[in-house]
Amino acid sequence: MKPETIERLRSLLAPARVLTSKEDLIPYGFDGTAVLQQLPACVVFPVDTQEVSAVVELANADDVPIVTRGSGTGLSGGSVPISDCIVLCLLRMNRILEVDTDNLTLLAETGTITKSIEDGALAEGLFYPPDPSSLKVSTIGGNVANNSGGLRGLKYGVTRDYVMGMEVVLPDGEIAWLGNKCVKDVAGYSLKDLFVGSEGTLGIITKVLLKLVPLPPARRTLLATYSTLEAGAETVSSIIAEKIIPCTLEFLDQTTLRCVEEFAKIGLPTEATSLLLMETDGHSAVVAEEAAKMEAIARRHGAIEVRVARDGLEAAELATARRSAFSALARVRPTTILEDVTVPRSRLAEMVRFVEDAAARHKVKVANFGHMGDGNLHPTFLTNEKDPEEMHRVELAMDEIFDFTIELGGTITGEHGVGLAKKKHLPAQFRDASYPLLKRIKGALDPKNLFNPGKIFDLQAASVSNEQLQNDA
């Protein structure tokens, strides 16, 4: 990057909000994804939309790519820098601007931490349901840009279902407002929906208007353990077939639950082969009835034990333990590579079995957990990036899992996004005119390919630097 560009960034923002030293940049060279790593040219911290827009204009004039970043907890390499780029970090834009209790909406800057959004709603007796396991760390902007899910997806849906509007800075620096507080709105294309899940490739989302719902008055949490992997999956299918939609149906296999127990020490039964965490919420009579039904179904499918959380405290403890699953798995081997395949729920048991078989075939260690109620699994490879031969076998097993997922009518990523980590597999899923369509949309909005280039797919201009990146990693 030209020194003048840095100088102009410094005069545009306060000098302290433009980082360039090696010690400052190294910690921004990665996100939550294994293996990927690249230093940016600088990291900047705008404090309002005008500053974001000014930085974008400058970058556009100097042809410098921008990688937008929230908290860097992404799991597909979305906020991993590309070489010689500006990392634009939104963490200084972290205010909740309005909670509208008449229209049940919340307006916030996108650097706000997800947990603060949840708390901000709670303070008014309202509820913001999407709760990615990273909610204490991730930003709402990252959630919107990745269309993140969470433990409550089954009943409440994902981030997209709560986005009513947003302010976005476009690649030329123009500012646009998309959406509004209306429950219904069919004026023009649903542009806000284009930006949900766009992974920082189309625009920088600076504010977001979120839908809130009334806080459910009661909830009950249950924990069922099994001696086979399939029994848990079958319980999930039966619950849904009996027309119960609980808010949470989470699954952990034995490796995962042992790691979680080692960290959380809350007395999970480590001898069980699989574990199901279930939660129902709503009116207390309904909650009681659904909880009883779910318990009966779990027992019918051979649960060794069904435990009902004593109170809110124990329920929260169980949810927190579940949220640590991915990180806790890092206890086993040096490198933890997590996948995010999702299949129609009726095919879950097959998918679970296939993952086991693929791992055995290639002699790699895999743990499995996930949002079973959503058909969303996180097969996690426990390996060592310093062992190329083992990494190769991991790659082979992963490829097979992706192919089988697509065969079942599933998707290669349910909630983490494509980023860098999964872009190789995207064409297999987008086999018709849909793949070029992605690129046409990108080309129309960002003709210079400056916003997060090389993420999701490669366009000509950025492909070099990204192959470079993958080789470096």
Partner 1 sequence: MNNCKTMPEAKRLETLDYSILQQCMHCGMCLPTCPTYDETGLERNSPRGRISLMRAIADGQLELTPAFGEEMYYCLGCLACTTACPAGVDYADLFENARADIEDAQILDTKERRFWRWLAVKTIFMRPRLLRAIGRVMWLYQSSGLQALLRRIGAFRLLPRNLRELEPMAPRIQRSFSDGLIAREEVPAEPPRFRVGMLTGCVQDLAFSDVNRDTVDVLLANGCSVVTPRCQACCGSLHGHNGETALAEELARRAIDQFDLDEVDAIISNAGGCGSHLKHYGRLLKNDPDYAAKAAIWDSKLKDIHEWLDEIGLAPPPALPEPMTVTYHDSCHLCHGQGVSRQPRDLLKAVPNLTLKPLAESSWCCGSAGVYNITQPEQAGKLQKRKVANILQTAAPNVATANPGCHLQLQTGLRIEGSDTIVHHPVSILARAYRNR
Ligand X SMILES: Cc1cc2nc3c(=O)[nH]c(=O)nc-3n(C[C@H](O)[C@H](O)[C@H](O)COP(=O)(O)OP(=O)(O)OC[C@H]3O[C@@H](n4cnc5c(N)ncnc54)[C@H](O)[C@@H]3O)c2cc1C
Q: How far is the CB of 242 from ligand X (least distance, A)?
A: 26
Residue number with CB closer to ligand X (291 or 377): 377
Q: How distant is the alpha carbon of residue 456 from its chain centre?
A: 14
The helix-helix angle for 348-361 and 229-241 (nearest 10°) equals: 160
For the chain, give percent helix, strand, coil, nearest 5: 40, 20, 40
Residue 24 within binding range of partner 1, rule CB under 8 A:
yes
Among 327, 335, 465, 468, binds ligand X (CB under 6 A): 327
- Restricted to residues 414-433, the positions that interact with ligand X (CB under 6 A) are 415-416, 419
For the CB of residue 327, give the shortest distance to ligand SF4 in the complex, in Å.
Answer: 5
Q: Select 28 or 354, whichever has its Cβ closest to ligand X.
A: 28
Alpha-carbon distance 250 to 277, whole Å?
5
Query: Closest distance between ligand SF4 and the C-beta of residue 330, in Å?
Result: 6
Task: Using alpha carbons, select from 194, 169, 192, 168 the residue that is nearest to residue 181.
Answer: 192
Whole-angstrom Cα distance, residue 377 to residue 371? 6
Measured from the Cβ of residue 192, the count of other Cβ atoms closer than 10 Å reads 23
- Select from 14-22, 230-238, 399-407, 445-453 the region that touches partner 1 (CB under 8 A): 14-22
27 binds partner 1 (CB under 8 A): yes
Residue whose CB is less far from ligand X, 56 or 231: 56
Residue 270 binds partner 1 (CB under 8 A): no
In the bound state with ligand X, the residue whose beta carbon lies nearer, of 73 and 449, is: 73
Looking at this protein, which amino acid is placed at residue 403?
Answer: D
Residues 195-224 touching ligand X, rule: CB under 6 A, are 199-200, 204-205
Which partner in ligand SF4, ligand X, partner 1, none is near 146 (CB below 5 to 8 A by kind)?
ligand X
Mode of pairing for the β-strands spanning 274-282 and 248-253: antiparallel
Q: Is the dihedral of CA 278, 284, 290, 292 positive or negative?
A: positive
For ligand X, the binding residue among 5, 49, 60, 79 (CB under 6 A) is: 79
Q: Does 72 bind partner 1 (CB under 8 A)?
A: yes
327 sits near partner 1 (criterion: CB under 8 A): yes
- Least CB distance to ligand X at residue 90 (A): 5
Residue 128 CB, nearest approach to ligand X (Å): 14
Give yes or no for a contact between 179 and 164, defined as CB atoms under 8 angstroms apart: yes
**Identified binder of partner 1 from the candidate list 98, 262, 305, 407, rule CB under 8 A:** 262
Contact status: 464 vs partner 1 (CB under 8 A): no
Among 81, 142, 179, 216, binds ligand X (CB under 6 A): 142
What is the C-alpha separation between 275 and 121, in angstroms, rounded? 31
Task: Pick the closer one to ligand X by CB: 119 or 305.
Answer: 119
The secondary structure of 115-144 as a DSSP string is HHHHHHHHTTTEE-----TTTTTSBHHHHH
Q: Which of residues 9-38 bind ligand X (CB under 6 A)?
A: 31-32
Residues 241-300 that bind ligand X (CB under 6 A): none
Residue 369 CA to residue 231 CA, distance in Å, equals 14
Does 26 contact partner 1 by CB under 8 A? yes
Q: Is 473 helix (H, G, I), strand (E, B) or coil?
A: coil
CB 155 within 8 A of CB 290: no
Task: Provide CB contacts within 8 A for 399, sequence distance 6+.
Answer: 425
User: Which residues make up the interface to ligand SF4 (CB under 6 A)?
Assistant: 327, 330
From 100-108, 145-153, 359-367, 435-443, span contacting ligand X (CB under 6 A): 145-153
Tokens of 240: 């849904």
Asked whether position 71 contacts ligand X by CB under 6 A, the answer is yes
- 29 belongs to the binding site for partner 1 (CB under 8 A): yes
Nearest-angstrom CA–CA distance, 66 and 200: 9
Task: List C-alpha distances in Å: 142 to 34, 325, 327.
Answer: 18, 20, 19
Sheet of strand 105-109, all strands in order from the earlier edge strand to the far edge: 96-100, 105-109, 204-211, 163-169, 175-179
| Coil vs helix vs strand at 186 | coil
Closer residue to ligand X in complex, CB, 130/232: 130
Q: Rounded to whole angstroms, how far apart are CA atoms 434 and 426?
A: 11
Return the one option of partner 1, ligand SF4, ligand X, none that residue 452 interacts with (CB less than 5 to 8 A, by type). Answer: ligand X
Helix (H, G, I), strand (E, B) or coil at 252: strand
Contacts with ligand X, residue ranges (CB under 6 A)? 31-32, 67-75, 78-79, 90, 110, 132-134, 138-139, 141-143, 145-146, 148-150, 199-200, 204-205, 326-327, 415-416, 419, 452
* Binding-site ranges for partner 1 (CB under 8 A): 19, 21-24, 26-32, 34, 45, 71-73, 91-92, 113, 115, 134, 136-137, 259-260, 262-264, 324-328, 330-331, 334-336, 384-386
